[in-house]
Amino acid sequence: MSATKAVLMAGGFGTRIQPLTHSIPKPMLPVMNVPMMENVLKQLKGAGIDEVVILLYYKPEVITNHFKDGSDWGVKLHYVLPDADYGTAGAVGFAREYLDTTFMIVSGDLVTDFNFAEILEHHRQRQSKLTITLTSVENPLQFGVVIVNEEGKIEKFLEKPSWGEVFSDTINTGIYVIEPEILDFIPKGEPFDFAKDLFPLLMQKGIDLMGYTAQGYWRDVGNPDSYREVHRDIFSHEVKFEIPGKRIDYPEGTLYLQGKVEIDPSVEILETVVLGDGVTIGKKCRLHNVTIGDRVTIGEKTRLRNSVLWHDIEMGKECFFDNAVICNDNRIGDMVTAKAGVILAEGCRVGKLAVFDQDVTVWPDKEIEPAAIVSNNVVWGTKYKNAIFREGIISGKANIEIGCEMSCKIAEAFASLLPTGSTIAIGRDFEDSSRMLKRAFDGGILATGVNILDLQEIPPSVLRFNIQHDEKLVGGAYFRKSLQDPSSVEIILYNEEGLRLDNATAKSLEKNYFKESFRKVDYKGMGSLDDSEERHTEACRRYKERIEELIDHRIIRGEEFKVAIDLMFGITKDIFPQILSETQIENILLNAYYDRLKMDMISHYIKMSKQELSKIIPALEFQMGALIYPHGQRLTLVADDGGVFDRVDALIAVLRLMEMDAAASGKTYRVFLPSWAPDMMDGDFRHLEIARGRYQDFKRNDYARFDLLATVDGNFAFTEFASHRDAIYATLKIMELLSRHRIALSQIEKEIKSFFYQRCKIPCPQSKKGKMMRKFLEYAKGKRHSSLDGVKIWEAENDWVLMIPDQYSEDLNLYIQAQDQEEGMKIHDKYRELIRQWMQE
**DSSP codes, 532-581:** -HHHHHHHHHHHHHHHHHHS-HHHHHHTT-EEEEE-TTSGGGTHHHHHHH
649-697 per-position pLDDT tens digit: 999 999 999 999 999 999 999 999 999 999 999 999 999 999 998 776 6
Identify the pLDDT of residue 717.
Answer: 94
Identify the pLDDT of residue 381.
Answer: 38
Kindly state the percentage of the chain with pLDDT values over 70.
95
CB contact at 8 A, 97 and 28: no
Confidence of residue 243 (pLDDT cuts 50, 70, 90): very high
CB contact at 8 A, 451 and 528: yes
Please count the other Cβ atoms lying within 10 Å of the Cβ belonging to residue 443: 15
Backbone phi and psi for residue 389, each to the nearest 5 degrees, phi listed first? -95, 140
CB contact at 8 A, 117 and 221: no
**Secondary structure (DSSP) of 516-540:** T------TTT---EE--HHHHHHHH
Q: What is the CATH number of domain 393-480+496-523?
A: 3.40.120.10
Q: Which residue has the higher pLDDT, 60 or 381?
A: 60
Q: Which candidate, 689, 692, 678, 707, places its Cα nearest to that of 800?
A: 678
Q: Which residue has the higher pLDDT, 211 or 136?
A: 211
CB contact at 8 A, 631 and 478: no
CB contact at 8 A, 690 and 707: no
Q: Which candidate, 622, 519, 489, 629, places its Cα nearest to that of 571?
A: 629
Confidence of residue 634 (pLDDT cuts 50, 70, 90): very high
Q: Mean pLDDT over residues 220-229, rounded?
A: 89
Q: From CA 800, how far away is CA 782, in angstroms rounded?
A: 15
Backbone phi and psi for residue 802, each to the nearest 5 degrees, phi listed first? -125, 125
The answer for residues whose C-beta is within 8 angstroms of residue 829's C-beta and 6 or more apart is none
Identify the pLDDT of residue 378.
Answer: 66
Same fold, 5-220 and 756-840: no
Q: Domain segments of the chain: what residues? A: 5-220, 243-374, 393-480+496-523, 551-751, 756-840
Q: From CA 429, how far away is CA 478, in angstroms rounded?
A: 8
**Residue type at 95 in one-letter notation:** A
Q: From CA 566, how far away is CA 199, in angstroms rounded?
A: 39
Q: Which candidate, 560, 592, 553, 598, places its Cα nearest to that of 573?
A: 592
266-288 per-position pLDDT tens digit: 999 999 999 999 999 999 999 99
16: exposed, middle or buried (Cβ count in 10 Å: 0-12, 13-18, 19+): middle
Q: What is the CATH number of domain 551-751?
A: 3.40.120.10
Q: Which residue has the higher pLDDT, 530 or 165?
A: 530
Q: Mean pLDDT over residues 223-227, rounded?
A: 89
**Residue type at 757 in one-letter notation:** Y
Q: Mean pLDDT over residues 494-508, rounded?
A: 89
What's the number of CA atoms in the CB half-sphere (13 Å) around residue 420?
A: 11
Confidence of residue 143 (pLDDT cuts 50, 70, 90): low
Confidence of residue 379 (pLDDT cuts 50, 70, 90): low
Rg of the chain over all Cα atoms, to the nearest angstrom? 30
Identify the pLDDT of residue 165.
Answer: 41
Q: Mean pLDDT over residues 428-432, rounded?
A: 95
Identify the pLDDT of residue 387.
Answer: 58
Q: Mean pLDDT over residues 629-642, rounded?
A: 96
Q: From CA 719, how far away is CA 773, in angstroms rounded?
A: 34
The answer for residues whose C-beta is within 8 angstroms of residue 650's C-beta and 6 or more apart is 636, 637, 714
Does residue 703 carry a pLDDT above 90?
Answer: no
Does residue 724 carry a pLDDT above 80?
Answer: yes
Q: What is the CATH number of domain 243-374?
A: 2.160.10.10
CB contact at 8 A, 410 and 507: no
Q: Mean pLDDT over residues 436-454, rounded?
A: 97
Q: Mean pLDDT over residues 293-303, rounded?
A: 97
Q: From CA 7, how far away is CA 5, in angstroms rounded?
A: 7
99: exposed, middle or buried (Cβ count in 10 Å: 0-12, 13-18, 19+): buried
CB contact at 8 A, 41 and 73: yes
The full 3-state SS of 372-388, as one line of letters, equals CEECCCECCCCCCCCCC
Q: Please provide the distance, in angstroms rounded to a whole number, between the alpha carbons at the two ends of the chain.
A: 55
The answer for residues whose C-beta is within 8 angstroms of residue 317's C-beta and 6 or more apart is 282, 299, 300, 301, 302, 334, 335
CB contact at 8 A, 498 and 467: yes
Identify the pLDDT of residue 841.
Answer: 82
Identify the pLDDT of residue 650.
Answer: 96
Q: Which candidate, 229, 125, 211, 130, places its Cα nearest to that of 173?
A: 211
Facing residues of 539 across strands? none
CB contact at 8 A, 791 and 783: no
Superfamily designation of domain 756-840: Alpha-D-phosphohexomutase, C-terminal domain (3.30.310.50)
Question: Is residue 316 classed as helix, strand or coil in its secondary structure?
Answer: coil
Identify the pLDDT of residue 470.
Answer: 94
Identify the pLDDT of residue 729.
Answer: 97
Does residue 385 carry a pLDDT above 50?
Answer: no
Q: From CA 515, how far away is CA 533, in angstroms rounded?
A: 37
Question: Is residue 499 classed as helix, strand or coil in its secondary structure?
Answer: coil
Q: From CA 108, how far away is CA 620, in angstroms rounded?
A: 44
**Residue type at 462 in one-letter notation:** V
Identify the pLDDT of residue 22.
Answer: 82
791-819 per-position pLDDT tens digit: 899 999 999 999 988 876 778 999 999 99
The full 3-state SS of 704-723, as one line of letters, equals HCCCEEECCCCCEEECCCCC
User: Given the DSSP bridges, would you call strands 154-159 and 144-148 parallel, antiparallel or unpaired?
Assistant: antiparallel
Does residue 80 carry a pLDDT above 70?
Answer: yes
Q: From CA 758, how far away is CA 644, in angstroms rounded?
A: 18
Confidence of residue 142 (pLDDT cuts 50, 70, 90): low
Q: From CA 834, how far away is CA 841, in angstroms rounded?
A: 11
Q: Which candidate, 251, 271, 107, 74, places its Cα nearest to that of 176?
A: 107
Q: What is the edge-to-edge ordering of all strands in the sheet holding 624-628? A: 586-590, 562-566, 624-628, 635-638
Confidence of residue 163 (pLDDT cuts 50, 70, 90): very low
- Segment among 92-106, 448-462, 540-554, 795-809 with least mean pLDDT: 795-809
Please count the other Cβ atoms lying within 10 Å of the Cβ belonging to residue 217: 17
- Segment among 164-168, 214-218, 758-762, 831-835 with least mean pLDDT: 164-168
Question: Is residue 319 classed as helix, strand or coil in its secondary structure?
Answer: coil
Q: From CA 219, how far away is CA 31, in angstroms rounded?
A: 13
- Segment among 41-50, 80-89, 582-591 with least mean pLDDT: 80-89
Q: From CA 295, how far away is CA 314, in angstroms rounded?
A: 9
5-220: CATH architecture:
Alpha-Beta Complex (3.90)
- Segment among 19-28, 249-258, 567-576 with least mean pLDDT: 19-28
Extended strands (E) in 195-330: 210-213, 218-220, 246-250, 253-257, 261-263, 268-275, 279-281, 286-292, 296-298, 303-309, 313-315, 320-322, 324-326
Q: Mean pLDDT over residues 433-437, rounded?
A: 96
